[in-house]
Each structure stands twice: as structure tokens, then as C-alpha cells.
Chains A and B, each alone.
Chain A
Amino acid sequence: MANAASGMAVEDDCKLRFLELKAKRSYRFIVFKIEQQQVVVEKLGEPNESYEDFAASLPANECRYAVYDYDFTTTENFQRSKIFFVAWSPDIAKVRHKMVYASSKDRFKRELDGIQFELQATDPSEMSLDIVKGRAN
């Protein structure tokens, strides 16, 4: 347990939806938010939605967590996919929200088994597709 963790609970639905994303690939992405002292699913992305759709579903002035199933082709021409986690915390969000999301992240991420890499982003440029590509390879 990290120091100063918030003790925020995680709704079971988060884990179930994440498993569906991981095993059945039923979603492209999932956006989570914290509501009434627990982490809940806010939005599910259809498998055919793009990275732009994903980026657009993160509000400009509020914090969110999200996972994205990223498909790519390796340098050896293999089709691969990696699941990444985004801690979205824009600078203009309220301090209170930033604190809540940051102090609950560690616990929440542990609930989602199978995340391959993680980004923390405070503005869209920190989670551009180029950065994702760089991290995935």
C-alpha cells in the first residue's frame, strides 16, 4: 500500500468490464471516474472506435482514469496489441479532484490485472499517439 492512499473502493463492474476488454476484446477503451467514494465505469468504447474518439472522451477540465487496447504492428510485422492505462489529470482540474484521483490510482490499478504500460497525462500532448507508439514498442 502506498503512503497516503485514499482507501477508495472499486466497483466490481470496473473489473468485469476490464476483463471483457482484455479477454473478449468487446471494447476498445473504458473510461472510469470516481463517484460517491468509489471508482465506476463512465464510458465504454466500441471496438471500431479510434484513438481520437478515445482522446475526445476525456473531459478537458476533470480527471479520469482510462484503459485503451492499442493495436499495432511491430517492426517484424507482427500484429500485436497492448493494454495501457491513462491517469488523466489536466492542470486546470480542481486540486481536490487531482488529489482524489492520484491517491486512489495505485489501488485501482492493482485491481485491473493485465495492464502493460501506463501514462500519466496533464494535457493532450502527453498522451499523443506518438508517445503511445514509443511506449508500446
Chain B
Amino acid sequence: MYGGDEVSAMVIDLGSHTCKAGYAGEDAPKAVFPSVVGAIDQMEVDDTEKTENNSGSAVDSKNTVRTLDSEKAKGKRKLFVGSQALGFRRDHMEVLSPIKDGVVVDWDMVDNIWDHAFRECLLIDPKEHPMLLAEPSSNTQQQRERTAELMFEKYKVPALFLAKNAVLTSFASGRATSLVVDCGGGSTTVAPVHDGYVLQKAVASSAIGGEYLSDCLLKSLESKGIMIKPRFSFKRKETRPGEFQTVDMDFPNTTESYRLYSQRVISSDIKECVCRAPDTPYDESAYSNIPMTPYELPDGQTIEIGSDRFKIPDILFNPSLVQTIPGMDNFAEIAPSVRGLPQMVIDSINRCDVDIRRELFSSILLAGGTASMQQLKERLEKDLLEESPQAARVKVLASGNATERRFSVWIGGSILASLGSFQQMWFSKAEYEEHGASYIQRKCP
């Protein structure tokens, strides 16, 4: 048992797209930054001196304790974490994600992300704060033990808790039983929660998340001849009041992944500004004459977006639409595992016990960043009404508050970790030392 003194806990939700971190008890996370990192292989680059001056939060992975990382192969590289460090273009910097299919594949990067959150964003000493981490439903035993080891051995945290993100979302909306539809950045996951347990065998996920939609939008615009210039590739200055001049810059050593990262920042903003889920399945001919919506790109050119406003969100419902977008070649790879959102919901419910299906249909919770898409909730509810069994009473719920929708997992963790009664639930350092990392399975089932 953790003594539960007055030092407040930290809550971290490391998603596939964004990392949310902050103090337990607050309404929203203090630090929100990309969960991708920039990496430069030290072998290739000699002039690291130059980049060092500009790196606000560069962490030299050579110096970090690597007791846990056995993979020495990718040893010498320099990692850049945080929106600021990533916003600055560097030669040969690749943008990599530590998470694949919702599960951590590169612990070195995760380590750096946590470190950035503690020391750069929150300015805390992890030794003093219990940590509540949100974990994906699909996390394996090894992953959880690894997390516990890293937290206790390296950061020396006094106590730890791993909470399932679907459970946190469900609880934060006042339900112990619900079907959580988490439309995140990197993927979409449908997870049934019953009395606080995730029903693992019925969890469904697909690779189509917000980021995938942004990519589709990017490619679709490119096919129409609209090139989105990444922010680093030009300089814009005011020649006379109200008049701007854009000068293109050329950086031949920029990596393809960094270029894509910078373009995605823009295309996801376009998506958030103009896209809206259509009320009925997207139909090319019906939407050919809709009015165009203007959007001003960072380089000053104004583009007009027409049917893509509706077509892109509809990919969530009908993934095969991707085939009509030139340039989205990787669809063939993910195609077998991908289904539309309503189908995922129904399949997931059908894999649950008959007795709870009715209850799941009546409490479908929409959460995650992409859930803020306009009309997404209404469309999902409509499609489900059509495809669900007659007797079922379909109800899709989403918090009216955009912050709560986007950060529902973090908010749930924040409240939980700040409850007085929860202080006895932590997996404490003493317990870790006595029972080892595998005890996490008992303490945080």
C-alpha cells in the first residue's frame, strides 16, 4: 500500500498521436505534445554542434541509462521530443513513432517522451510523484511489466498505476458498462467495458484514425494539383503593410518522414476546420456541386475545398473510398483488417455475451480526438439504427464539451488518481521491491 501523502499524482496518457500529461485533479492535461520523436543517426551526421544550439529539449540517448534496453543496435542516435523540437527542421532528422498498432515497440523513445514530459513540460521530479498511466486495452503482460520496471528502476517513482484507457473513458462518463469507440490519431478502437472490465476478446481496432484521414486529405488535394508546402520550406515576409512575399527555401537533406510530418500538421488543421461527416454515405455525383470552402495555407495561398470535406470523414464509415484517392497505395496492406465504424461496433457487440448486448447498444461512447469531427456522432447513431437488431435501443453518447471528448481518458485518470480512497490502490515501490514487476498484474488487473 502506498502511504498517500499530500504530493499530487501525475497522469500520463501516451496515445498513438499525442501524449497528454499533467497533474491529477486538474480538468485538462498541462502538457499536450506529439508522441512522435525526431531521430538523427549520429553515424551519418558530423555537424551535430550546429543543431545542438537550437535543440530546446534534445535528449542525448547515449547518456540515458540503458539498463533496460537490450537492443544496442540502434544505439547511437539523437532524439528530439516535443512540438518545439519537432517544429525545427534538421538535416537528416527522421520522424519516428514509438507506437505501432497501439502497442509500444521502441522503449527508448517512450523513455525520452516521459522524460520530456517530466522535466521539460511539467518540471517535476518523478521520484516525488505517484504515476497513473493510461494503457491500451491490447497491452500485453510483458509490456506492462516493462512499464513497471522502467518507472520504478529508472524514474524511481514512489507508486504506479496502469489503468485501461477504455475503462477510464467509460467511468468518466458515469458508466461501468459501455461500448467505448475511441477514434484516436493513429487508430480507431472499439472496446466493450462491462462492470469495469474490458472484454478483451471483443475488442476491435483498425488503422484508420485521424492521421490516416489527414493523409488521405493531403493526397486528395495533391491529386487536384494543390501542393501543401511544409512550413519550413519557405520564408514569408511583409514587403509593404498587407502585402507578403513568399520565398521558397531548399533543404536537400530534409528526410521524407519529416516532410510528411510537417505536411500532416497542416492537413490535419484543414481537416479540423472544414471537414464534416456526411449525413448519408458519400456519393461522388451528389457532392460534385457542393459549394467550395476556402482555407488559407500558411504560405498565403487560399485553396478551395469541395467534396473532400465530406468524402474524407466518410472513409471512417466506408474505408474502400480510399481506393479512389490517388497516392494512397498502402491501403492494400491494411485493407483486410479494415471495416467501417458501424460494422466494427456491431461485430464487437456480437462477440459479447447475449445478456449485455442490449446494454452496450444503449451506451456507445464516442471519444478520442477524431470524435470531435462534426456530425460524426449523429452519423454513427443513424447508421447503427439501420444496421442493429430491431429490439436494440441504440444510443450514441459523446460529451458536449470538446475538451472532455478529446481528453476523456486523461480526465478519467486525473479524477481517479486524485480520489482519497484511491491512494490505497497504488502499486507502491515497496511492493515492487518485494514482489517484482509481475505483481503489476495483480495490482492493476
Contacts and interface: CB of A to CB of B under 8 A. Distances in A.
B196 A5 contact: yes
B416 A103 contact: yes
B168 A4 contact: yes
B12 interface: no
Contacts of B172: 95, 98-99, 102
B173 interface: yes
Interface residues of A, number: 33
A106 to B, nearest CB: 5
A4 B173 CA distance: 14
A36 to B, nearest CB: 9
Contact of A2 (B197, B362, B419, B420): B197
Contacts of A4: 161, 163-164, 167-168, 171, 196, 412, 416, 444
Interface stretch (B146-154, B174-182, B212-220, B378-386): B174-182
A15 interface: no
B176 A8 contact: no
Nearest to A135: B358
B59 interface: no
Q: Chain A interface mostly helix, strand, loop or mixed?
A: mixed
B445 A1 contact: yes
B222 interface: no
Interface in B374-427: 397, 404, 411-412, 415-416, 419-425
A38 B171 CA distance: 18
Interface residues of B, number: 35
Contacts of A97: 174
A117 B10 CA distance: 37
Interface in A1-19: 1-9
A41 interface: no
Contacts of A89: 174-175
Contact of B419 (A1, A93, A100, A120): A100
A99 B177 contact: no
B421 A8 contact: yes
A122 interface: yes
B168 A120 contact: no
Interface in A43-95: 63, 87, 89-91, 93, 95
A4 B163 CA distance: 5
Contacts of A8: 419, 421
A24 interface: no
B412 to A, nearest CB: 6
A91 to B, nearest CB: 8
A37 interface: yes
A87 B404 CA distance: 22
Among A6, A89, A102, A120, residue most surrounded by chain B Cβ atoms (within 10 Å): A102
A8 to B, nearest CB: 5
A95 B404 CA distance: 9
B395 to A, nearest CB: 8
Interface in B115-168: 161, 163-164, 167-168
Contacts of A1: 445
B170 interface: yes
A120 B196 contact: no
B177 A37 contact: no
Contacts of A111: none
A90 B61 CA distance: 49
Interface of A: 1-9, 37-38, 63, 87, 89-91, 93, 95-106, 109, 120, 122, 126
Q: Which 3 A-B pairs have the closest CB atoms?
A: A2-B196, A89-B174, A98-B174
Interface of B: 161, 163-164, 167-168, 170-177, 195-198, 359, 362-363, 397, 404, 411-412, 415-416, 419-425, 444-445
30 contacts: A2-B195, A2-B445, A3-B197, A4-B168, A4-B444, A6-B419, A6-B421, A7-B419, A7-B423, A9-B421, A37-B419, A37-B421, A89-B174, A98-B172, A98-B174, A99-B171, A99-B172, A99-B174, A99-B411, A99-B412, A100-B415, A101-B174, A102-B172, A102-B174, A104-B421, A105-B176, A105-B195, A106-B195, A120-B177, A126-B362
